[in-house]
Amino acid sequence: LPHNKKTIKHSQSFTIDNNGSNKQDPHVGQEDENTDRGNWSSKREYMLSMIGYAVGLGNVWRFPYLAYKHGGGAFLIPYTIMLAVAGLPLFFMESSFGQFCSQGPINVWKAVPILQGVGITMMLVSTFVAIYYNVIIAYSIYYLFASFQYPLPWTLNVTAENQTCRNEFTVALQRTSSMNETGPVVWHLALCLLLAWILVGAALFKGIKSSGKVVYFTATFPYVVLFILLIRGVTLEGAKDGIEFYIGSKSNLTKLTDSEVWKDAATQIFFSLSIAWGGLMALSSYNKFYNNCYQDSIIVCITNCGTSVFAGFAIFSILGHMAHVYQRPVSEVADAGFGLAFIAYPDALSKLPISPLWSILFFVMLITLGLDSQFAGIEVIATCLQDAYPKLLKSKRGIVTTAVCIVLFLLGLPCITRVGIPFTPFTMIKMHYMKGGNRFIKDIEMMIGSKSALFWLWWRACWFFITPVVLSIILVWSLYTFTSPTYGSVAYPDWGISLGWCMTAFCLIWIPILAVWKVYKASGGPWQVKQDVHVLSEKKRTGVLTWSVTEGSAMVQEERLIQIYL
């Protein structure tokens, strides 16, 4: 690595890595700016992929439930505040970091080696989420096939307290009464799970070059279905009661004094935007260097939150009609999570004319919502593997994706035994770190152009103080108020709760392990490590950037990694 200034022209890329790989990735196009890893074929494909990753099942089955539970329209106040002080700052930070370094969640932290364990944690979280997320898609596929019948299988005359659909749900998934009764694999669900993984593997076989085409459908079709369901829902008798219950005149501002409301608002923002799972870094790492990631972050975050609110109207208008049919309050027919997607809403749709049509549309929507979120999760794993072993895996994208899908399919089989849903992970890890202060801001300005001091005042306040404080409070409060989870009336046994904590520990343990290891291997102590890869100067001319790089310690000689893509 030269100690003197090195001039790199706009069309070139300069790469040094541990493995000395010089193989060309067959999926890198002639027009790609990044000749080593490739870029998105178009800005539209990147934006649709990011929107598809952020907008997922939680927007449809969790946000509406939280809104009516926590004061209706009043819930939008803490939700918006948490978006501003936590969600958007971290979304902007992660996407900027990935774009600047052009690396996946593990390699990107080589810029701050002591925190490289954060990248491993991100990949592990994405792996656990990918395992159970495709199980949900498999359930949706099963229900989609079941919807091609008239009448729908869960349509019966006796529907007291919504038990008909609940019983059908139990029969279809063959769920046992507790986690202690695992039972055999439910083979019709195993086949649906296999189909789900085939769809994911086929879409990602060529990486972003193929998934970028698929998202034109998977990221846009849910909006078509939500719009159709909303139009149909508001024309039904009782729809007004459902909408008012969701976000209308029954809003309860007194709920804002409840700390649980603020915690749930923050949790929903993090869950919905998929922050700290590595997907934002992985997807943005394929951007062109000068892409305006700030503008993209604003668009994706607003679209995501707007979708949540919009989905609530479509959901509760039809639930209001269901409450009218049953002559019950909306609160007694509404549900959250699996209950809303596979019990309450299918039951409501079965009461409509041409019920199979509405059921088919709804479950195709769930499948597409799940798939484009799943694409990013698998992209995290594949990108991390290829970045870690470029010499071996760079030209084998299809093989890597296929192998990952096969392994995760096998790991997902316990989730479709009769123990079913309660076996899925129930603890999400949210870890956020920053690549040192003012230098990171200069890195962002290098990509998006210089900004005023007033512009950075807000982001500095969030990154350096507001966001860490908010996250710390939420973390402490969540631990303080932790109660043993249940799935409906099914209690988790002690061994199940212990397994959940072990999974959490397994994800987090890599952060201190890698930190200690990097400090041990580095010369000059922990403060020297931060200077290992340090950009000293940047002078922008017409099509030319001048860089100078220094080696601060043995860490650089060990890692030998700096990638500049122009």
Please give the chain's pLDDT, 566 residues, in tens. Answer: 333 333 333 333 333 344 444 556 666 777 778 777 888 989 999 999 999 999 988 888 888 888 878 877 888 899 999 999 989 999 999 999 899 988 888 888 877 778 788 889 989 989 998 998 999 999 999 999 999 988 888 775 444 444 544 555 555 555 555 555 566 678 888 999 999 999 999 999 988 889 989 999 999 999 999 999 999 989 988 888 888 888 776 677 788 888 888 888 888 898 889 888 889 999 999 999 999 999 999 999 999 999 999 998 998 888 888 888 888 877 777 766 667 777 778 888 888 888 899 999 999 999 999 999 999 999 999 999 988 888 888 788 889 999 999 999 999 888 765 444 433 533 333 333 444 567 778 888 889 888 888 889 999 898 888 888 888 888 888 888 877 777 666 777 788 788 888 888 898 899 889 888 888 877 655 555 444 444 333 433 333 333 333 333 333 333 333 333 33
The response to whether 52 counts as a known ligand-binding position is: yes
User: What's the length of the chain?
Assistant: 566
Asked if residue 557 belongs to a domain, the reply is no
Asked if residue 547 belongs to a domain, the reply is no
The response to whether 309 counts as a known ligand-binding position is: no
**DSSP code of 185?**
B
Asked if residue 312 belongs to a domain, the reply is yes
Asked if residue 145 belongs to a domain, the reply is yes
Number of domains in the chain: 1
184 by Cβ neighbours in 10 Å (0-12 / 13-18 / 19+) ranks as exposed
Given the structure tokens 């890597």, which residue do they identify? 400
Asked if residue 376 belongs to a domain, the reply is yes
CATH of the domain at 169: 1.20.1740
Residue 489: HSE in the Cβ half-sphere, 13 Å Cα cutoff: 4
The response to whether 272 counts as a known ligand-binding position is: yes
- Rounded to whole angstroms, what are the CA distances from 24 to 110, 222, 391, 397, 420? 23, 37, 10, 12, 44
Phi, psi for residue 426 in degrees, rounded to 5: -120, 10
Q: How far apart are CA 532 and CA 529, in angstroms?
A: 5
Asked if residue 309 belongs to a domain, the reply is yes
The response to whether 87 counts as a known ligand-binding position is: no
Asked if residue 537 belongs to a domain, the reply is no
The response to whether 162 counts as a known ligand-binding position is: no
Asked if residue 11 belongs to a domain, the reply is no
The response to whether 48 counts as a known ligand-binding position is: no
Q: Which of 410, 414, 366 is nearest to 136 (CA)?
A: 366
Look up the domain containing 437 and give its range: 45-484+491-521
State the amino acid at position 414 in one-letter form: P
Q: How far apart are CA 510 and CA 514, in angstroms?
A: 6
The response to whether 54 counts as a known ligand-binding position is: yes
